[in-house]
Structure 1
């Protein structure tokens, strides 16, 4: 197999270019670094263009800014010093993200963990920001509100910079005491942000409340319903979605349709129904290029996503029901072929997702 898209490290440096051959050793190394999915080059699908939600340069600058500021916050915790004035830096960054998203047509929430090997906290903070700002745009927030929302989203986990790394990066199951320590990141984050120049109280409360849940089962204050700020309710959804679809040292990533099914289990109890429906309608649960099997037995890849009904994409059929490659691939539009459904996707794990506790995801 040959690689279909470049793979970057957290510095934005290309580690593997398109058409790089994927040996067993390289595949093992990629999985070790948290890449469970990659794009594979195939002349039958070369015309399928997978565009990122934001520009590559915006993403590169964002990860550098996040890494720089978060590391300084971590260092200040170790050294006992104070590192203030992050508001200005992140305001400019969020404005770039808003502009990128505004300039694109028919944007969908796509998997964003497929071609970069970044430290989880940095990548997660950026992904949650992008997803949340996009939803805010669809919802109709003003640019001022979007900036506040984006800053709150990108800094929602800032409190984790004060959690000991041996706890934060632990690869085995946390003890009760360690999980209690992890949960303090919400209150710590609020305390870090509430008096920070350039950070509004709304944005600070995103850090404080993003683990609160409608039924009062969240933390740190067991808030219910409208006691939870609207911004934090959006971030609760995007935070969980990105956590579920990202590889962690203690579990593999879920595919988008699996994550969506899990999140929908909390509809009305954990997450607001209207917000969750808007999120569902703008997530590409079958991303472009994903291998799928149809109810007819035919196998292919997703070649197009309908923005009005993303659950019913166009599939380019590459193999017959016996698994034999066909000479002339053709496309099946599930939006119109209503009797045909996707029965299987390329999956990397079959864990017991049904028993997932959504309040446990960090």
Structure 2
């Protein structure tokens, strides 16, 4: 299967992956032939990319590190926990969250088990689960990214759990933000943004009063928007003042933010998100964290059509767990001509060739 932009989908193409709603029910089943009506519905849902089955991608599979069932369960649990905090002050929210902390810890343990037993690069397909409110799915994905980075950095199982809980609750302070600002369907004004920025301190106030989780979890919420050069908020901390856990969650938070759909902005591809993180390496993001991020997070998802620097086209066929930026590619086109038979190259062994761009709008001439 391969990844294709919604803008070039055509009736008659075949869906390669099931798309699920927040209740865990399939909206579009794998192997369904796409019709005009289905394509309209996908656009209404804000889907930007879809996996399809076709000849050039035959046999290429994409498996998420976390199953759709486990992912749906986790997001539903986060939603339920966060929604109970709406309208409460920080003290009342602390009391409610304290009662839920054991279940949250068990949820993080479950996700940790899935990540720890997988030796592959973390793969999360954000367009296979459709959820109305961004914050809940975001909390789930930041947890996965943070734990994957921290595992690569060599943290212990106990430390990974604390980081996972801190990541899952890093945005809990947003439940104190007025809903008209939190869920505003447009960009925030400067005044509204200043109010939104208060969620970091509000999260700290809620979490520091919990008796059942480490105080480090509260600092994850407090510091995940701080930056090494002092340009972050709420306190403008600099490198040595920011806790290492918060430095990890900061990278995971930004990467998921730019690679997820927002009402006012379309998502970027993972490779574009990686470029943004790397642009801040050593200046706003911790160098060691970024290097671990590069080794543990997928850059080019399987099924992505790419144009190489020598003019060849191919499709990402397999990940290289030792070098996430250098996957194996199935070459299917040379000099603009489709090949009668494809062949595989490993970019890690082709030092004179690089990926120039991802082409989600590519259609073979025959189509």
**Same fold flag (TM > 0.5):** yes
**Residue of structure 2 in register with 1:66 after alignment:** 78
Q: Secondary structure at the match of 2:206?
A: helix
Pairwise CA RMSD: 1.9
Q: State the SS of the aligned residue for 1:83.
A: helix
Separation (CA, whole Å) in 2 of partners of 1:133 and 1:34: 28
- Counterpart in 2 of 1:158? 172
- Does structure 1 residue 243 correspond to structure 2 residue 243? no
- Residue 9 of structure 1: how far off its partner (Å): 0.7
Residue 49 (structure 2) pairs with residue 37 (structure 1) = yes
TM-score normalised per structure 2: 0.88
Which residue in 1 is equivalent to 2:5? none
Instruction: List structure 1 segments (4+ residues) > 6 angstroms apart after TM superposition.
Output: none
What's the CA shift for 1:43? Answer: 4.3
User: 1:28 & 1:254 partners in 2: Cα distance?
Assistant: 21
1:308 positional shift: 1.3
Matched residue SS, 1:40:
strand
**Alignment equivalent of 1:341, drawn from 354, 358, 363:** 354
Q: Normalization by structure 1: what TM-score?
A: 0.89
Cα deviation, residue 111, structure 1: 4.2
1:55–1:100 contact (8 Å) kept in structure 2: no
Q: Does 1:214 align with 2:228?
A: yes
- State how many pairs are aligned: 344
Where 1:38 maps in the other structure, the secondary structure is: strand
**Structure 1 stretch displaced more, 276-285 or 94-103:** 276-285
Q: Distance in 2 between the 1:88 and 1:328 partners?
A: 55
Match of 1:357 in 2: none
User: Does residue 329 in structure 1 map to residue 342 in structure 2?
Assistant: yes
* Equivalent of residue 6 in structure 1, options 13, 18, 27: 18
Alpha-carbon separation, structure 2, partners of 1:164 and 1:34: 25
Q: 1:186 to 1:32 in 2, by over 3 A?
A: farther
Which of 139, 146, 155 does residue 141 from structure 1 map onto?
Answer: 155
Following superposition, the deviation at residue 153 of structure 1 comes to: 0.2
RCO (CA 8 Å, sep 6+): is it higher in 1 or 2? 2
Q: Which residue of 2 aligns with 1:352?
A: none
Query: CA offsets, 1:225-269, max 9 Å, x none?
Result: 121111101000000000011111111111122112222222222
8 Å contact kept, 1:292–1:299: yes
Deviation at 1:162, TM superposition (A): 1.7
User: 1:164 offset after TM fit, Å?
Assistant: 2.1
Match of 2:101 in 1: 87
Distance in 1 of aligned mates of 2:115 and 2:19: 22
Are residues 1:197 and 2:204 paired? no
Q: Is the 8 A contact 1:288 1:304 kept in 2?
A: yes
Work out the CA distance in 2 between the residues paired with 1:164 and 1:250: 19
Residue 24 of structure 1 and its aligned partner are, at CA, apart by 4.3
Residue 141 of structure 1: how far off its partner (Å)? 1.4
Aligned residue number for residue 358 of structure 1: none
Once residues 95 and 202 of structure 1 are traced to their aligned partners in structure 2, the CA distance between those partners, rounded to angstroms, is 17
Question: Greater shift after overlay, 63-72 or 18-27?
Answer: 18-27
Residue 352 of structure 2 corresponds to residue 304 of structure 1: no
Which runs of 5 or more structure 2 residues have no equivalent in the other structure?
Answer: 1-12, 362-367
Structure 1 portions without partners, runs of 5+: 349-362
SS of the aligned residue for 1:74 comes to coil
